[in-house]
Chains A and B, each alone.
Chain A
């Protein structure tokens, strides 16, 4: 094997470089902090001729995803990136992309949603799009951003489901760290060319790709029976369920080629004998590892689970990983208003009816860029173990 190519990259640079390595053919994106450097980098690649892609200038995020959906239907590998209010502005197209079954990959540099304005990080933006029918993958560090974008194209184009690659804005997007950059030939060897289901560019065989569906199956213009709206929705759900096997398989393929893993569905750290699990998504998982190390030094058997794949939800993997835990501290950067963190609810539902019933507590952390330190995660975990918690969910490190 040749010498490792390690570069010191920000999260946005890693994301743009990954899209380039995947030889994306159409990029359409509208700049928004902290995502802006992704389209900036990609437009430079295109301008310099390093990437043979169509860079489409758009006037909004709604159009950005609209362009990507159309390009993908026409058979091009399409990529975009956004976050926060930009993601919400494209929300109609977010649902449309999943319903159209286009394998678009979109990076989201997670940012808090206005109002009030914040440019800083939390995960409310992507969590609010949880039920749009996209696969959502969360990244622990910049290496995982690069690796996940690459894997996402393989997974999306196999299943015809769009994928959001989510990573914490500023915390990862603006932090430079070492990233091992694979050789473009090696990437080409694991990503097959994208083949759309239909060739809509063939003028001899005109197809209606956007028929109105009904609640019962109906024949199309050429007499073929078409599924009902509900039937198509079930197929989309089945594709996402199938992703629970595709995602670990693609990660294993990647590991075989590049000798590193993202964990597939879950990132696990010291869980084998853990009595208490610190569970989170994104960069918090990395911070939680530091907290778990400190807890172990105080003779607390702590482990860490990072939910890398949030949708589809890896219930079975969670159940297996939590079967020996007495306590689960769920740390997340979102809140389902009037209830608790979305991830916490999902973890509880995954354990419903099983014999293992650890005490599960939800912690809301890092909303709107609030700094989260490992020692705070450590303290919160001790508060759970020692029974000091009186509110639920617990808002970590909040003064006013």
Chain B
């Protein structure tokens, strides 16, 4: 039995095809590279369809992860499509010291009703500017991570880059890193998150 284990859970809400599952996976690997011994990333276990609401989960821990059950309340809740806020029951995801990250052009003040630290980022424009489209669709699975870096400090651009280099050719990685950088700078966050790791 281990004491002083530090765990973080992430719940990703997106629409099929947006890149929620990929973002969950990159987060897990980046955290692992940054020294977290235990990481898992999984989709919500069910059918996936383009455009339909989908969920994905990431767990990161200072010890190997032994639980594979679905995450209820999450430390970090990420909304890849703000129209989902009308569909999902966000209250059920919010726990003690949760952080909310929303992909939107709006400012965080617009979401103050949730009463938790909230960051917003226009991840779509960041990915679009960097030219990240697949079959005509802008993919925000990497740009959204700019906001995750900025708000949580759980990993940096460097770990994202190393992760992407495991999966994609150098040229594509550079484009994605550009989108991460743009999104990181564009992230609006006027608070601090209690559980953030200072760089």
**Contact residues of A with B, CB < 8 Å?**
6-8, 119-121, 141, 168, 170-172, 174-178, 283, 286-287, 289-290, 293, 296-297, 369, 371-374
Of all chain B residues, which has the CB nearest A377? B69
Of all chain A residues, which has the CB nearest B70? A371
Given contacts A8-B28, A176-B28, contact A289 B66 (CB under 8 A): yes
Contact between chains at A176 and B69 (CB < 8 Å): no
Note all chain B residues with C-beta closer than 8 A to A286.
Answer: 66-68
Contact between chains at A176 and B41 (CB < 8 Å): yes
Of B25, B37, B40, B69, the most chain A CB neighbours within 10 A belong to B69
Given contacts A287-B66, A293-B1, contact A120 B25 (CB under 8 A): no
Q: Roughly how many angstroms separate A293 CA and B39 CA in the complex, as a whole number?
A: 19
Q: Roughly how many angstroms separate A204 CA and B70 CA in the complex, as a whole number?
A: 60
Of all chain A residues, which has the CB nearest B25? A176
Contact between chains at B40 and A287 (CB < 8 Å): no
Q: Roughly how many angstroms separate A371 CA and B71 CA in the complex, as a whole number?
A: 10
Contact between chains at B45 and A177 (CB < 8 Å): no
Contact between chains at B69 and A287 (CB < 8 Å): yes
A7-B166, A176-B29, A178-B64 given. 10 additional CB < 8 A pairs?
A: A8-B25, A8-B32, A121-B45, A176-B40, A283-B68, A290-B66, A369-B45, A369-B46, A371-B70, A374-B69
The number of residues on chain B lying at the interface, defined by a beta carbon within 8 Å of a beta carbon of chain A, is: 23
B82 close to A (CB within 8 Å): no
Contact between chains at B45 and A174 (CB < 8 Å): yes
A-B contact pairs, 10 of them (CB 8 A): A8-B39, A176-B29, A176-B41, A177-B40, A286-B68, A287-B67, A289-B66, A290-B67, A369-B45, A373-B69
B65 close to A (CB within 8 Å): yes
Note all chain B residues with C-beta closer than 8 A to A369.
Answer: 45-46
Contact between chains at B69 and A175 (CB < 8 Å): no
Of all chain B residues, which has the CB nearest A143? B64
Q: Roughly how many angstroms separate A171 CA and B29 CA in the complex, as a whole number?
A: 18
* B11-52 vs A, Cβ < 8 Å mask (1 yes, 0 no): 000000000000001001100100001111111011100000
> A374: which of B1, B28, B67 is its contact (CB, 8 Å)?
B67
Contact between chains at B39 and A178 (CB < 8 Å): yes
Of all chain A residues, which has the CB nearest B29? A8
